[in-house]
Amino acid sequence: MATLSDIALADDLGQFEIKEIYGATHQLLQEMQQAKAEAFPGRINAMINHLKERLQGKAAYPLAVLLETSYLSIQHQLKKDWNSDLKQRQLYLYDNTIETYRGRIPSNVWNQVCLNYAETLVHTGRSIDAQAVLKEMVKDENDPSYQRLNGEFGWTLIFYSTFLPVKAERLSALEKALDLFKTAKNDIKDEKGQALYDERIKLAENMIEQLGDVDPVKLAQQPEPTEDEQRYLDWCAEQQLFLNSGNDIEPDTMAKRDLPLRIQNNAFLGNFLDSLTHEFTAMRRSLYLALNSEEVADDHKMDGDNTRYTKRNEDLKQVYRQAYTLFDKMALLLNQTMQLGVEEPRVNFQRIWFEEEDLKKPLKPFVQNTKNDALKALYWLSKEVYGYEKSDEQSLFVKKALHIRNRIDNSYLQVVEKAEPFEKENARAQSHHITEAELERMTLAMSQKARNGMMYLQFALAIGKK
């Protein structure tokens, strides 16, 4: 049987089985994590690239990607630059793998990808987005990754609690995390995993104890909603679209309302945030109405035509466009509150972070030197929306999202009932096509990202003020 050294030093890795190389690479990564250096410099990367070549086109390919993300993570920690090219490459790989392999790989592989991606997002401050990734896991009670679902959801709440300005909200998040850790400890089968959640249980208990006395939050009574309105509220809570931290902690309790942050003692900024909130809630209702409206085709639809000419689809396009508008308005509000002094025509969500708003220049001090993790979360969200400027390539999601936006804004986007086989002579026309299901999915996804951006923005402003 080949030893670790045999594999690591071999000139021809093809002589070994895939599982041998995978196991050896995993062991070398563990040793590198502990020693803060590679035992065989350059060999981990060579072994990962070899695995990617042999697994190309196979269901197990994402496992090789996970090895690469682990390697990048360790290198990133050693570099001590929170915005390193290694971190950007790692996030790109996760984002691309999720979009590329959704529904195409075995549940145990998919769940491991989701679990690792969520853990990485948590450490960039994006605990809400980590929850969204965890929700995509496929139920399989015998899968070790799935057994950790409750515990990892609790882990997102530990980090999320640090953003919350009100003690009662922090207590709610920590108590929910504690319950989830206890559930996970019972779900998980291996002793190492149980020991991990024992540690996290103690952490949550200590954080709760440190809060001391907590005054309960009293919410104003709201009128009883109509049956139709209740369906809308339930949908908002289910899709995590309320501007309310409770929606990320316990969607079925206090979450079914918006509780936006107020900016005090500055009428202009207060009105700006209020307006942004109203724009989002109007967009959210438009999305709900579009998704639940009847599909009435226009008169000019021809028999046998694959195209769907409906007001519903046009409404979805408008919501999609508006989500991007909200991102840029968040940047405008940041420009005002952080007193960045950027001329309004130059302000946008992609470029506001950089000196002279140039992607090739360094980050501005307000974000590069910040200790405000919610502000960093907003920055990392901008990467997922517009792409990673330090990455040689962009994820399938970013390419798709920007392509849809470009077609809606600058040309046309034709909605079709079902995907069509690629035809070279019809390629140009097909590049303007999108299926109804894909338009719905992408519009909901961009709306959720806009909502998450609103939450991170509010937390960043509150933390900055504190």
Decide: helix, strand or coil at residue 416: strand
pLDDT (tens digit, 9 = 90+) per residue, 188-204?
A: 988 889 999 999 999 99
Q: Return the closest-CA partner of residue 87 out of 385, 364, 460, 376.
A: 376
Unique residue bearing structure tokens 């590198």: 32
End-to-end CA distance of the chain: 60
Sequence-ordered list of residues with C-beta below 8 angstroms from that of 162, at least 6 positions apart, any chain: 373
- CB-facing half-sphere around the CA of 293: CA atoms within 13 A: 17
Fold of 148-212: Methane Monooxygenase Hydroxylase; Chain G, domain 1 (1.20.58)
Amino acid at position 375, single letter: L
pLDDT (tens digit, 9 = 90+) per residue, 250-281?
A: 876 656 788 867 777 788 888 999 999 999 99
C-alpha to C-alpha distance for 288 and 316, rounded to whole angstroms = 10
Alpha helices, DSSP H, located in 37-60: 43-55
From the number of C-beta atoms within 10 Å of its C-beta (0-12, 13-18, 19+), residue 264 rates as exposed
Q: What is the pLDDT of residue 138?
A: 97
pLDDT (tens digit, 9 = 90+) per residue, 80-92?
A: 899 999 999 999 9
Q: Does residue 304 have a pLDDT over 50?
A: no
C-alpha to C-alpha distance for 224 and 242, rounded to whole angstroms = 18
Task: Assess contact for 24 and 8: CB atoms under 8 A.
Answer: yes
| Selected residue with higher pLDDT from 318 and 307 | 318
Q: Where are the domains of the chain?
A: 148-212, 260-465
Task: Assess contact for 88 and 353: CB atoms under 8 A.
Answer: no
pLDDT (tens digit, 9 = 90+) per residue, 204-216?
A: 999 999 999 888 8
Rounded to two decimals, the pTM is 0.93
